Amino acid sequence: MKVLRYASLAAAALVGLGITYWFVSRSQVPGASGAFQSATTQKWTSTLLTAGYGFCLTLIGVALGATYRRLIKLRSAGVDKISFGKLIGDVCTSVDFYIGLVGAPIVYGLLWQSLVDISLAGLSIIALQNGFTSHAILDQFVSSKPLEKVPAATPGV
């Protein structure tokens, strides 16, 4: 069962990287200045490395956000201490984490499309922040709350 869980995590990350590649390959956004640019690398290689780096930081932000929300729930339930291994296991199997993981390519795609020129440090902070708050961003597009039932109209009224 653990192998299936790890395989699904890897598959979700690979799909996310594929979607990130799709956004990057159809974009006219210049590469971010910084560590991935040099005289010997081509511009598309630099842009691809920058995009991959930003997406990985978005995934780290998703994990940090899910961990933070889990810790808040545990604290409100009165839990004072928890083992690190149990916390990571709880986070990696939570629906909250998977929602963020599945939504990360959309969140990062929105970030990537809004770039004009950015430093690597700026991309790092914004990608982490967007990953951390991916729940709030995704809720703006797709509400996770159940729809309210509207009472049926009475005939003849």
Give the whole-number percent of the chain exceeding pLDDT 70: 70
| DSSP code at position 26 | T
> Which residues lie closer than 8 Å to 17 by C-beta, 6 or more apart?
52, 55
Q: Residue 155 — pLDDT band, cuts 50, 70, 90? A: low
What element of type H or E holds 100? helix 95-114
pLDDT the model gives residue 77: 92
pLDDT confidence tier of residue 106, bands split at 50, 70 and 90 = confident
Distances (CA, A) of 71 to 31, 33, 84, 105, 131: 36, 36, 11, 25, 17
Nearest to 132 by CA among 64, 81, 43, 45: 64
pLDDT single digits (tens) 41-70: 566 677 777 888 888 899 999 999 999 989
Mean pLDDT, residues 81-86: 90
Quote the pLDDT of residue 129.
87
- pTM flag (> 0.75): no
56-65, 98-107, 113-122: which range is least confident on average?
113-122
- Is-contact 130 58, C-beta < 8 A? yes
Say what the pLDDT of residue 10 is. 81
Residue 38's pLDDT is 52
Give the pLDDT confidence score for residue 34 in this predicted structure: 53
What is the domain partition of the chain in residue ranges? 2-33+42-141
